[in-house]
């Protein structure tokens, strides 16, 4: 969707805002990339047309980036479905910000349904902070997609295949044989929990 150049400029604006608390001027962007203001305008127009930027005409430093594209933002993802792009704009409900060293870039929040991880102190309605990755080590808590369904479980690799264990005696472990490995995909590893208590 975005060209390399456009992406680079969007990144620069993002980092600039993150560092300074206000967006750069057209000339500051130009200086950074060694081009003229008019050239920067071309890029800004393109980014605006594509919905990655907003600005006000004739006013300085009024570039703003919609929350979902902003740097450092951790999106709250609605559903995790097979195939669909995880961070599609319609799928992002809101965004939170944490200190940089708490969440790796690319992390996202996912609402937990059910009490299967109660023993690991993850409750129904909690949000888990997920670090996206395709594989996992033994004993790690992962978000996995089994068929069409996303679940949070503890991950173990066995000689027969993979076992996903709940942390709740009421739930039986899920065993996936090596032959049916295609039905399982690891979305990421759980690196945090956020709980908001209602009234």
Partner DNA sequence: TCGTATACCGTACAAATGTTCGGTAGTCAA
Partner DNA sequence: TTGACTACCGAACATTTGTACGGTATACGA
Residue numbers annotated as active site: 116, 153
Question: Mask 113-152, x = binds a copy of itself (CB under 8 A)?
Answer: -----x--x-x-----x-----------------------
Bridging pattern class, strands 149-157 and 141-146:
antiparallel
44 touches DNA (CB under 7 A): yes
64 touches a copy of itself (CB under 8 A) = yes
Identify which range of 36-44, 67-75, 122-130, 140-148 contacts DNA by CB under 7 A.
Answer: 36-44
Helix (H) or strand (E) holding 129, with range, is strand 127-132
Residue tagged 């057209």 (tokens): 26
- Asked if 99 touches DNA (CB under 7 A), the answer is no
CB 156 within 8 A of CB 162: yes
Output the smallest distance, CB 162 to a copy of itself, in A: 21
Query: What whole-number distance in Å separates Cα of residue 181 and Cα of residue 129?
Result: 25
Nearer to DNA, 25 or 115 (CB): 25
Give the nearer residue to a copy of itself in terms of CB position, either 35 or 98: 98
Q: What per-residue string of b and e applies to 27-62 under the rule 16 or more CB within 10 Å gives b?
A: ebbbeeeeeeeeebeebbebbeeeebbebeeeeebe
Contact footprint for DNA (CB under 7 A)? 3-6, 25-28, 33-39, 41-44, 46, 55-63
């Amino acid at each position: 969707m975005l060209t390399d150049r456009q992406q680079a400029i969007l990144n620069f604006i993002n980092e600039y805002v993150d560092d300074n608390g206000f967006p750069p001027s057209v000339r500051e962007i130009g200086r950074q990339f060694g081009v003229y203001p008019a050239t920067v305008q071309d890029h800004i127009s393109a980014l605006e047309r594509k919905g990655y930027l907003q600005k006000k005409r004739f006013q300085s430093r009024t570039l703003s980036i919609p929350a979902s594209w902003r740097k450092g933002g951790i999106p709250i993802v609605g559903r995790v479905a097979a195939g669909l792009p995880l961070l599609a704009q319609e799928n992002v409900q809101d965004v939170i910000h944490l200190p940089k060293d708490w969440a790796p870039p690319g992390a996202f929040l996912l609402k937990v349904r059910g009490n299967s991880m109660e023993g690991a102190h993850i409750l129904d309605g909690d949000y888990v902070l997920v670090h996206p990755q395709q594989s996992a080590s033994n004993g790690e808590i992962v978000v996995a997609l089994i068929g069409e369904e996303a679940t949070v479980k503890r991950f173990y690799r066995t000689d027969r295949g993979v076992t996903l264990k709940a942390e709740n005696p009421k739930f039986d472990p899920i065993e996936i044989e090596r032959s049916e490995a295609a039905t399982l995909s690891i979305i990421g590893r759980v690196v945090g929990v956020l709980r908001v208590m209602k009234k």
